[in-house]
A and B are shown apart, each in its own frame.
Chain A
């Protein structure tokens, strides 16, 4: 029975090639766009998380603060809400680190008669404070301390990026919604036209005693097949593009820090199922509307 329904559905594809090609194209495109968004979303939030984990506030002391006052300032910072830990970095330690980082340019430091670096505190934040707005507020608080010359936190662009990221997310959801509806509409329309082209046949099937489900199931199959095939094609294109780009990013750049990843297998499964649901739903709408008894 299943084989029979499957056969009928395939026959309909053959008999309405152009129509089904266009449908397939639309679904593939929708899936491509939606999954591109998801891929982008996953990788950007990966990146955001990575950066957020590294979020800290560097607090630079005024040069005239005596070393003996440092523990006091440290405690003051520590007592602020949202601060997890404070680490003192003396200007000597900072210079040592800088020198070791710039071994090749040691000549730069040879003529230094005075350490130009300030004493500093590296302030780590509590997990729940790693939101941009809170970070900003805390930094202002620290900057207001007498002994503090300057604070440096994150990078300005990270904040802006954060906003853009949220905008993208919103746009992404909207786009997903629109393409979902477009795909359902296109499938529904295709099925409607197939129903129309087969109206005599459907009439005959009814007259010889075919039950409604017997008539309808092949149409559902068509919707499901279109959904699955469209998802397959869309994801295949995305993967090809991803694979091409991933293998062309120079190694050693930031891709070494964060692995850019493709959609996980369950995710791919979910997308295919969702796409099949779109196909089914499109068929359902058409059958409901045009195959009244």
Chain B
């Protein structure tokens, strides 16, 4: 199956291990994620979900095994090309990672500035995504003055503004109330519809049941299998 889908794969891992000192965080992970997949990475807290995501954008080095992202072998990415790799991703961090002393607008525009986009384009794109996440009225606000749900929406805006091929979301609904969670999931589903590959790390089983998608199950650093969960939830929210 892996061979047959090689062309359609966007992320592939072969026998990947990862240790923090003596702690084995990931053990022999082999997986294949297809273009425009909508994947949940699940498992209890401490299973290695965050670690797996961090490997993909080289926040952790690949020390054992192989990781291929969109044709790039991560073991062979020279340091100065890491930024290019990271621009393939839109990342929603578990702790949002918004810059406290920059406005909402500046937090989002940073991605495009770093990619060297023109000012006019940046203005247009940022306004567009802020409208999409319903944060256009708060664009001059600073992140600490926002609620958790609002911060997360800014984080989503920043993740999608560069039109990345892959969206990584680490516990995107972790600390949010149901309404906020729902709006975040709607947004993620939206970018999936428009062609992005979406990977969501979560320990929240009900979230998966509500949304449906492919599920990769991690347990104590090992991949315990994958399954497809059908959405059994009313379609009206999408």
Contacts from A to B (Cβ < 8 Å): 1, 4, 15, 200-201, 203-212, 214, 293
Contacts and interface: CB of A to CB of B under 8 A. Distances in A.
B146 to A, nearest CB: 16
A207 B110 contact: no
A211 B83 contact: yes
Contact of B84 (A15, A204, A209, A214): A209
Given A204-B99, A214-B114, A209 B80 contact: no
Contacts of B79: 293
Given A209-B83, A209-B84, A209-B86, A204 B114 contact: no
Given A203-B97, A207-B86, A209-B83, 20 more contacts: A200-B99, A204-B110, A205-B114, A206-B83, A207-B59, A207-B91, A207-B93, A208-B110, A208-B158, A209-B84, A209-B87, A209-B114, A209-B115, A209-B162, A210-B114, A211-B114, A212-B80, A214-B114, A293-B79, A293-B82
B99 A208 contact: no
B101 A210 contact: no
Given A208-B86, A209-B86, A209-B87, A201 B116 contact: no
Contacts of A212: 80, 83
Interface centre among B80, B93, B100, B110 (most CB of A within 10 A): B110
Contacts of A293: 79, 82
Interface string B77-121: 001101111110101010001111110000000110111100000
Contacts of A210: 83, 110, 114
Chain B, interface size: which category?
Answer: 20 to 34
B40 interface: no
Contacts of B162: 209
Nearest to A197: B101
B57 interface: yes
Contacts of A214: 113-114
Nearest to A14: B101
B60 to A, nearest CB: 12
B169 to A, nearest CB: 14
A208 B114 contact: yes
A4 B116 CA distance: 11
Shortest Cβ-Cβ A-B pairs, 10 listed: A210-B114, A209-B86, A209-B87, A211-B83, A209-B83, A201-B99, A208-B111, A204-B97, A214-B114, A293-B79
15 contacts: A201-B101, A201-B102, A204-B99, A204-B110, A205-B114, A206-B86, A207-B59, A207-B91, A207-B93, A208-B86, A208-B91, A209-B87, A209-B114, A211-B80, A214-B113
Contact of B110 (A1, A200, A203, A205): A205
Contacts of B102: 201
A205 B98 CA distance: 10
Nearest to B101: A15
A1 B111 contact: no
B98 to A, nearest CB: 8
Contacts of B80: 211-212
A15 B85 CA distance: 32
Contacts of A1: 116
B116 to A, nearest CB: 7
B105 to A, nearest CB: 13
Contacts of A205: 110, 114
A197 to B, nearest CB: 10
A209 B111 CA distance: 7
Nearest to A214: B114
